[in-house]
Amino acid sequence: MMSHTLRNHLCNLPQGTVITGKWHRHSYKLLKQLGSGANGVVYLAESRKGLVAVKLSDDHASVTSEVNILRRFSKVQGVALGPSLLDVDDWMNPFLHKTVPFYVMEYIKGESFPAFIRKHGKEWVIILLLQLLSALDQLHQEGWVFGDLKPENLLVAGPPPTIRLLDVGGTTLQGRAIKEFTELYDRGYWGLGSRRAEPSYDLFAATMIMITACCPMKLERKGDGRSQLLSIIRKDTMLRKYEGVLLKAIDGKYKRASEMRQDILAAFHRSSRSRYHPQPARQMKPMSRRSKKKKHRKAKGVVETVLIAAVLLCVYAIYVYHQVLH
């Protein structure tokens, strides 16, 4: 972890600071800070080849680990597990006269997951979650667990809207202890499992991402974690449709992300069929004007919902088509 003095310094580098690598001699002009964490700070920077993201840290071991993970990710074809690695070098900091290791990544332009959901509606949560589970399944097959999975580490790029995983600092080899976590998305915090790096750890976090996207209130554990989460799921119309899937993930019953993904798709199709299939005819009664207005509003709502579902299915079809092409 960075020392307090160096953390403050690296987090407050002035706009326009030029980082020049000691070995490769590539230069990067810092434009603005994108984020910071326990192991470093990330800046948007200008390079000869366009915009990039530069991560600086004083923790050589952490930088080496993250670079190795990004290199590993680059070998996994067909899914965007993380940004592409572009450069690795050291910077002689002229202010503190210290060598600061850094690496340069692809800058992914897009919206944060929470911002995208606020703008486009929580109907998108399922589409993006399906994409996330595909990416996690690939990652788990490579022997890794993402670890610090949370909305802030997800970006929606596109078009078509495509989820991307950011900040690989918490990625951990399966079987080891999770390196980094955020309490709200950590099953240990909720008393629902260990912090051992295994696929079910990430799937619990994915479930919490879905819950917080649908219920953006401030959450903290109060008493029995499972009962509290179950109560939240049952109170929300959308979450209630996926109650069985979410509970299996909360209880750590999924061994693979692909299993959870299949169950979400099945629940989605069941929900669609039950909503739009006509009910058996009942004995007709004369309708009052109020009843007619109520029926008209209900019919209008069903049509709007059908259209939303159709649009989401089209978008998902486009996403699958692009995945097959690439």
- The secondary structure of residue 16, as a DSSP letter, is T
**What class does CATH assign to 111-279?**
mainly alpha
Residue owning tokens 């918490």: 170
pTM of the model: 0.79
Q: Does domain 4-106 have CATH number 3.40.1020.10?
A: no
| Catalytic site positions | 148
- Burial annotation 77-91 (CB, 10 A radius, 16+ → b, else e): eebbbbbebbbbbeb
| Residue 55 assigned ligand-binding role | yes
Domain boundaries of the chain, sorted by first residue: 4-106, 111-279
- How would you write the pLDDT of the chain (326 residues) with one tens digit per residue? 556 777 788 999 999 999 999 999 999 999 999 988 778 899 999 999 999 999 999 889 989 989 988 888 776 655 567 789 999 999 999 888 889 999 999 999 999 999 999 999 999 999 999 999 999 999 999 899 999 999 999 999 988 999 999 888 889 999 999 999 999 999 999 999 999 999 999 999 999 999 999 998 889 999 999 999 999 999 999 999 999 999 999 999 999 999 999 999 999 999 877 665 544 444 445 555 655 544 555 444 444 444 455 555 565 555 444 444 44
- The secondary structure of residue 59, as a DSSP letter, is -
* Residue 5: exposure state from Cβ atoms within 10 A (0-12, 13-18, ≥19): exposed
